[in-house]
Amino acid sequence: MKKLFYYSFILYIIFFPLVPSRLNWKYPITEVMLLLVLLFYLVYVLRDRNKRKEFKENLILFLKEPVSLLMVIITCIMLFSITYCTNVILVLKETLRFGILTGLFYIFRFECNMEFYKEKLVKLIYYPAFVVMLIGFYEKIFGLGFEEWSGLLRVESTTGNPNIYGGYLVVLFFPLFFLMLDERNIKKKLFYILELVMIFLSVIFTGSRNALLAIGLGGAFISVFYIRKLLYVLIPAFIVLLQTPFVKERISTGDAGRSQIYKIAWHVFRDHPIIGVAIGNFESVFKDYYLRYPQYHYNPDIYHTHNIYLKFLSELGIVGFIPFILLMIFLLVNSIKAFKATTGTMRNICVAITIVNVLFWIMSLFDNIILLPKVMNFYFIMNVIPLIILSNKKENKI
């Protein structure tokens, strides 16, 4: 059963980014795969006495660590919101998604040692990503993907949405950049450089202003604090980029009506300040508020807030917003602490994770992608690394 769990776990990591989201929306393939992984893991635990004892000890530790405890609390708050929701299916969908992520987080936290992260996870994440980007390039070459009302074509690859694709690429870019800097094997280094170039081009092809902003800010941070000479490349590159018709078109669209959505979301929160309208249910109440406030008319078919903070405020109120903000704070603090506690490659990886955490604080002002599986899973997987480093340091293993 241990082997069955292990191989199903590995297969899930490989195939998760490759399964098209548009197919997954109709048939929850990746959710079923992950549920099977968790089921195999539970059977593995229950069948082994020593493993049961270890599981109990780890579970207690899991509930003592702030990040994982907050994830459990948020899952419970999401589930509780079913008692006052308008649409039960939306609540169950988002609760199951975040609850399953919490289970995945546990597995990465306690079943994967640092050697797994150093040796295997890089391949398991970046090799499938290479295929995902090839699909994106295929879309660009043959005129496929997501078409804006203006006729502008934006690639989405397997993610089902250009903005989600952009978020996925941002999560991958900065850890790979630091891995490339530290790599001594010429073949691996060249592969990392190739993939970094592919990620950068893919971000441009998504037309995601949020992702472009994140890459620019992250690059500026690295240039100022680590590699000053990078500015000589970065500044001309972005000047040229801003002159391209594709980027000009995306910038000229303004906020695409998001300011109107934000105002409606704020009204929803103001009317339900304590517990919100239930997770995922902004979609359910939007049309009512759209009709109630005609001055904010933009698009009657909106289904999310385009701002993660307003999402939690409007859907889970103050009760859900506070744990979420605390979760984001602890993720950032852990990555900073781990960066200070390590040296060499792992230190640089923690720097990359810290950059990604800061960027997602900013990106979350303009979208909800941090809670969408193709982004969320990889974001939280990477944030397990600082936890393991700090835990090992506490036990004097590093």
What digits encode the pLDDT tens for the residues 35-49? 899 999 999 999 988
Structure tokens at 34: 């992950």
User: How many Cα neighbours within 13 Å face the side chain of 388?
Assistant: 23
Residue bearing the bigger pLDDT, 216 or 231: 216
In whole angstroms, give the CA distance from residue 8 to residue 32.
11
Q: What is the largest CA-CA distance in the chain?
A: 64
- Prediction pTM value: 0.91
Q: Residue 296 has what pLDDT?
A: 75
Where is average pLDDT lowest: 75-79, 194-198, 296-300?
296-300
- What is the rounded average pLDDT of the residues 177-182? 91
Residues 6+ apart with CB under 8 A from 104: 34, 37, 38, 377, 380, 381
Where is average pLDDT lowest: 106-115, 200-209, 296-305?
296-305
Where is average pLDDT lowest: 235-239, 371-375, 392-396?
235-239
Q: Residue 93 has what pLDDT?
A: 92
User: pLDDT (tens digit, 9 = 90+) per residue, 322-359?
Assistant: 999 999 999 999 999 999 998 888 899 999 999 999 99
Q: Residue 344 has what pLDDT?
A: 84
Angle between helices 209-225 and 245-252 (to 10 degrees): 110
Q: Residue 254 has what pLDDT?
A: 58
* Extents of the domains making up the chain: 115-254, 258-398
Where is average pLDDT lowest: 62-71, 216-225, 352-361?
216-225
Q: Residue 91 has what pLDDT?
A: 96
Query: Considering the chain, what percentage of its residues have pLDDT values greater than 70?
Result: 91
Q: Residue 345 has what pLDDT?
A: 85
**Is residue 265 over pLDDT 80?**
yes
- Per-residue confidence band for 246, with pLDDT thresholds at 50, 70 and 90: low
**Is residue 252 over pLDDT 60?**
no
